Structure 1
Amino acid sequence: MLAACFGSDGGGSSMMGDAGANAPQPFPDNYRTEALAYMRTYLNNPVGVRDAGMADPVLRTVGGRPFYVACLRFTPRESDGSYRGPRERAIVYVNGRLDRILERSPDTCVGAVYAPFPELEKMSR
């Protein structure tokens, strides 16, 4: 089920439109674990991630409704072994579960307070 939800803001499958998404949202207790599992599938090579940080989820308006959003910042190793600039992603949680990753959402993570996310830096294949 989670694999179907791993769309970006480009229009993948999402629970954000479900009727349950209109209810008050519960805090996503397993947000770090779910983000780590997602990143294993998202990154072509999960080894060698640098400068990983994650902000605790906060309620933000996404698509006109409040959802918990956690911001993630990291620098992945490119396929040629080099590193480019850091990337920032907004992770949207619906009904306490990871629903989607917003890749192009510069305003969503403004003011996020990042804490180290060493688990992301220690990933292996």
Structure 2
Amino acid sequence: MLGASAKFLAIALLAGSLAACVTDGGDQSSNQGGMVYTDDRGVADQPFPKDYREQVLAFLRTYLNNPVGVRDAAMAEPVQRTVGGRLRYVSCLRYNAREIDGSYGGVVQRAAVYVDARLDRMIEKAGEICAGVAYAPFPELEKLTR
């Protein structure tokens, strides 16, 4: 049977071990906002994300409160940009999605960042990253279902 101090020490060690496993992306997000989904090894020579449209659609199907009836969807082909001090492929998108109450909140701009050709994170404040990209219609997003 463990004493009170031994139990406390065991719990503290367990909590410390678990805390070491959790990350918010560190410098990878570089105050850009967004959630990190892959292990970014910092490799500069990144492959082009060939199925970037499908990856974004799969993500938005779960990300959007209501993925049905998206309007004004447009997406730019991935281009290389520096994000968090690292060269990454980024595809920018704009869309007007329905809110929970069914109304439209207005067009938003997002940047999808890829690491090793996989969607790594979605940056919500994408103004500077998406400056000067050429948008094309993204009808697949407007046809999205639950």
TM-score (norm 1): 0.85
Q: Superposition RMSD on alpha carbons, in Å? A: 1.8
Q: Looking at CA atoms only, which structure, 1 or 2, has the larger radius of gyration?
A: 2
Residue 48 of structure 2: aligned partner: 27
Same amino acid, percent of matched pairs: 60
Consecutive unaligned residues in structure 1, runs of 5 or more? 1-6
1:96 pairs with 2:101: no
**Structure 1, residues 83-120: CA drift from partner, whole Å, max 9, x if none?**
12201000000011110000123101111111111010
Residue 110 of structure 1: aligned partner: 131
1:49 counterpart SS class: strand
Residue 15 of structure 1: aligned partner: 38
Change (3 A) 1:24 1:10: same
- Measure the CA separation in 2 of the matches of 1:70 and 1:62: 12
Higher relative contact order (CA 8 A, sep 6+): 1
1:57 pairs with 2:78: yes
1:119 counterpart SS class: helix
- Pairing partner for 2:69 from 48, 57, 64: 48
1:37 counterpart SS class: helix
- Measure the CA separation in 1 of the matches of 2:113 and 2:139: 21
1:33 counterpart SS class: helix
2:67 counterpart SS class: coil
Change (3 A) 1:58 1:16: farther
- Measure the CA separation in 1 of the matches of 2:131 and 2:85: 18
- Measure the CA separation in 1 of the matches of 2:75 and 2:69: 17
TM-score (norm 2): 0.74
Say whether the 8 Å CA contact 2:75–2:135 is kept in structure 1: yes
> Which one-letter code corresponds to 2:100 in the other structure?
S
Change (3 A) 1:48 1:59: same
